[in-house]
Structure 1
């Protein structure tokens, strides 16, 4: 065995050995958290290496076993060492101490790996980027998932991880063995690339709204080992059982157009088959076990890959809009014109509730939304097209920006004269 082969072998087997030593029969949630931290570290290490190589901070001298220009065995060992290994330690060390320890280790080892890696004078910039991008997100996501803390943080870091896996690593792997190239998104006419990217953004709306619904209504995430504690039937789930998979497939299909890749188009079809005949079966079994009759009632009415024309099980809800506000009266007329189901539109002045400012949505299970979010919730009673508009409006970044715009046009919050409803 050559020195280079021995180094590559050690870079993979030592992290695996450490992870196995620390494993010690973790519970199901901790095991799932360890896998999630590995996936996050894998994506982060890949991104950091691509940036470092593009910036000229370092390059790998190897010619075989490369994926995206990175030795796959080194990449995987790196991710295991930075993700599951510190997570599985019995003692919860501060994250800053782990980052410093890994930084010190890299300072000692990386200059001595010249048979694997050629460092530039500014390689420390790449090291700092890799440490900050790889260790804290992977470790935080793993700890938060294992301890069921920081729900918003878990959702955001999962979004980074699964977006990287589905829309970067999977297409890159397919195009590496088939046809197509990322360069087409840059080299194609601007109108074509822009159209593809904008359509991908539109296709992402159901998935993003579904993730927000999982967190807000179900107090969970899309990750199978960190699911919602309750069945979520609102938002996109009122119309279709698998909005996240639909969004992912649409974005992959559009990406195959943007990258000129027939191989990616074929992989997209394969993804649909995998989800339909493998992943769906596992998910249905899990939901049946956890939620029983509630899931069976939902499953009988809402199907994957088939969008309903009306929302599922819409219980009576109320949308309160001010009669003394011109914008609110216009909004009321618009919502009424969409023929919403099981939605009573009433005057806001006729109801006393803490925090009522022109618009309020009151739905089942103590679901409340105010301002523009209330109108968006109301539109979700009006069929999939209007519901899609509502999901778009309620996206975490979009809604505050639109609310500021509406406030500036005179639709901002104000105290209303109210009388308790009888």
Structure 2
């Protein structure tokens, strides 16, 4: 006798309730804030990734979903949430008792042998395993790797890079897609029903260029977190208070840039509803997020935090960097005419917290302009060093500095400078005719 199919109205709530309850129980049992934060990070990764994978799978015909309930890019929201929770919160929180690799193998086996049992909520085609392979390789495994590295504080560069990729997807994929879905389906937001996206024209070109500049500033803020030994994720912060880079001008550069990027996206995609999302993001950052941040950072850094916040505002940047920014030094050859000219230009602009020193006095054998910061300990040469110097002059020059110091851009610019005769060179003697070796201040004057 054939086994009758389970009613979708009964099956779908079970698919959602079981992993959500399991994750809730584990959340209560696991009180480690860092592991909880890693689980939430993996959840966001899987929500974004699985939405994209399922959209591809439905389009390719690997599987399809039963009609009913709200959906995003053709994927039912309830099933998407359940899938993401099962692939993130449960294995990451459960890793306290069961090693993460074992959980991942178990989840893959559950999918392989259990997906067909979800009919008619999910109907599979014979080659559905292509979609499963894509989901495992882009969602399950990377999310678990990110969470595991976050818990153990390993591979900082990998963690930062994956977070940048994730937040980029949130800003430029998830939020626009959700805004479009709300504009098309939401009864309150039908006034914002967007037209088909068409990028082009002067306004879009200007908006995209502004967005690129804002993204560079946001990346500069992330790089400052990386140098301090942490990431932008609240549960994976640096060990030191970050007061350099964009943080020398405004207290919340990433939140500010994120909000502005949503506004730019609203302009380019012609989605007025995204302006509401930008307002919500700004309100959240100004309210609850700021309150939590002030409590946490004030408790960790005490007077250092109080002195810093006494000089920078939440959303309105300063023109000159705050005086509490960590001190640094720049080394230029006093016997090199272009270097001495640059040293004079720097000194005239009175950079904040920056000492201009002679490269001849450096203990190492320098062949390029060198920038060194003690807190956090960091050094760079050439074009990147110039970018770091400009960030200590004023806001306008800082933006230029962050652009030219951006990874990739700085490399290309350095190649161009080297090709034009500004490559590395041995230090000149730097003595006058009377044998006197001038100081850097004398050269600058």
**Is the TM-score greater than 0.5?**
yes
Aligned to 2:96: 90
Does residue 259 in structure 1 map to residue 269 in structure 2? yes
Does residue 237 in structure 1 map to residue 247 in structure 2? yes
Aligned to 1:406: 417
| Equivalent residues in 2 for 1:258-297, closer than 5 Å | 258-297=268-307
**Cα deviation code 1:394-420 (max 9, x no counterpart):** 223332333333333333334435799
The DSSP-based 3-state class of the residue aligned with 2:310 is: helix
The DSSP-based 3-state class of the residue aligned with 1:204 is: helix
Following superposition, the deviation at residue 120 of structure 1 comes to: 4.5
Does residue 15 in structure 1 map to residue 19 in structure 2? yes
Gaps of 5+ in 2: 184-191, 431-436, 440-445
Q: What is the rounded CA distance, in whole Å, between the counterparts of 1:6 and 1:401 in structure 2? A: 59
Q: What is the rounded CA distance, in whole Å, between the counterparts of 1:110 and 1:9 in structure 2? A: 16
Quick one: structure 1 residues 123 and 360, their matched pair in 2 at CA, closer, same or farther if it must change by over 3 Å?
Answer: same
| Equivalent residues in 2 for 1:51-200, closer than 5 Å | 51-87=56-92, 88-91=94-97, 93=99, 95=101, 99-120=104-125, 122-178=127-183, 179-181=192-194, 183-184=196-197, 187-189=198-200, 191-200=202-211
Quick one: structure 1 residues 8 and 346, their matched pair in 2 at CA, closer, same or farther if it must change by over 3 Å?
Answer: same
Aligned residues: 417
Contact conserved, 1:328 with 1:358, CA < 8 A, in 2?
no
**Cα deviation code 1:232-268 (max 9, x no counterpart):** 1101111111100110111111111112122211221
| Equivalent residues in 2 for 1:26-45, closer than 5 Å | 26-45=31-50
The DSSP-based 3-state class of the residue aligned with 1:310 is: coil
Contact conserved, 1:325 with 1:358, CA < 8 A, in 2?
no
Gaps of 5+ in 1: none
Quick one: structure 1 residues 352 and 271, their matched pair in 2 at CA, closer, same or farther if it must change by over 3 Å?
Answer: closer
With 39-48 and 167-176 compared, the bigger mean Cα shift is at 167-176
Q: What is the rounded CA distance, in whole Å, between the counterparts of 2:196 and 2:337 in structure 1? A: 50
Following superposition, the deviation at residue 133 of structure 1 comes to: 0.9
Contact conserved, 2:336 with 2:428, CA < 8 A, in 1?
no
Q: What is the rounded CA distance, in whole Å, between the counterparts of 2:178 and 2:42 in structure 1? A: 21
Q: What is the rounded CA distance, in whole Å, between the counterparts of 1:256 and 1:74 in structure 2? A: 28
**Cα deviation code 1:327-378 (max 9, x no counterpart):** 6456546545655344343442x22333522211133434432222211111
- Aligned-residue Cα RMSD (Å) equals 2.9
The DSSP-based 3-state class of the residue aligned with 1:353 is: coil
Q: What is the rounded CA distance, in whole Å, between the counterparts of 1:55 and 1:336 in structure 2? A: 62
Contact conserved, 1:48 with 1:126, CA < 8 A, in 2?
yes
With 139-148 and 403-412 compared, the bigger mean Cα shift is at 403-412
Given the alignment, which residue of 367, 379, 404 partners 1:357? 367
Given the alignment, which residue of 9, 34, 50 partners 1:5? 9
Given the alignment, which residue of 254, 258, 272 partners 1:248? 258
The DSSP-based 3-state class of the residue aligned with 1:319 is: strand
Q: What is the rounded CA distance, in whole Å, between the counterparts of 1:342 and 1:288 in structure 2? A: 23
Quick one: structure 1 residues 59 and 193, their matched pair in 2 at CA, closer, same or farther if it must change by over 3 Å?
Answer: farther
The DSSP-based 3-state class of the residue aligned with 1:369 is: strand
Contact conserved, 2:312 with 2:322, CA < 8 A, in 1?
yes
Q: What is the rounded CA distance, in whole Å, between the counterparts of 1:202 and 1:44 in structure 2? A: 27
Given the alignment, which residue of 182, 207, 227 partners 2:218? 207
Given the alignment, which residue of 276, 301, 310 partners 1:300? 310
TM-score by length of 1: 0.88
Following superposition, the deviation at residue 208 of structure 1 comes to: 1.0
Q: What is the rounded CA distance, in whole Å, between the counterparts of 1:367 and 1:421 in structure 2? A: 28
